[in-house]
Amino acid sequence: MKLLLTSNGLENNEISLVFKNLFNKAITDVKVLFIPTASRTEFELTYVTKSIQELIKLGVSDNNIFSYSPDKQKLSNFDKFDCIYVCGGNTYYLLDVFKKTGFDKQVIKLVNEGLIYVGVSAGSIIAGPNIEITGTDDENDCKITDLSSLNLTECIISPHFCKDEEEYVADFRKNSIYPVIGLKDNEAIVIIK
């Protein structure tokens, strides 16, 4: 299992290099299952475009990036992909869609079978055991109550970590049974099991 959990994507050169080194093939041959589901607002969608451009800039062919929203499309053949790239946006909505469509179970299966998981912001949060760290940063307009998530890692990621969030994260840590990692923008964590 290989996970690359980022705060804001692959724009940092070191993170980009780590991304490239996760694969046992040329970056031009890497096929990416790109999940923009969490991005619903015009502002969030600008980050989707940015993420796709980062992948292309790294050498991933635009023909090898397949944008997929499990709430809007059906896909049965996941075997052709090397990587699942889960974008940021509203974490509650992302988890809700994954659970309602059963895509959460599909992602867990694929990652356990060797598909590389790359998360950005909400995509990094959802990789943990739960999304409780999200708090009020996102609106829970889908009214999801079961906040357990993919559990690909036992740590909780707090993306966009900054001085203003230190107190909130410190308080959250006191009540969490899981380790909490604050990731500043342009930071990432790699987990290989």
Whether 160 is catalytic is: yes
Whether 16 is catalytic is: no
Cβ-contact 185, 157 below 8 angstroms: no
Instruction: Please tell me which residue in 39, 51, 121, 124 is annotated as part of the active site.
Output: 121
Cβ-contact 142, 98 below 8 angstroms: no
- Return the beta strands (E) in the chain as ranges: 2-6, 32-35, 65-67, 83-86, 116-120, 156-159, 180-183, 188-192
Rounded Cα distance, 160 and 25, in Å: 31
Backbone angles phi, psi at 128, to 5 degrees: -80, -170
Instruction: Please tell me which residue in 61, 67, 69, 160 is annotated as part of the active site.
Output: 160
Q: At what angle do helices 13-21 and 42-58 cross, to 10 degrees?
A: 60
> Which residues are part of the catalytic machinery?
121, 160
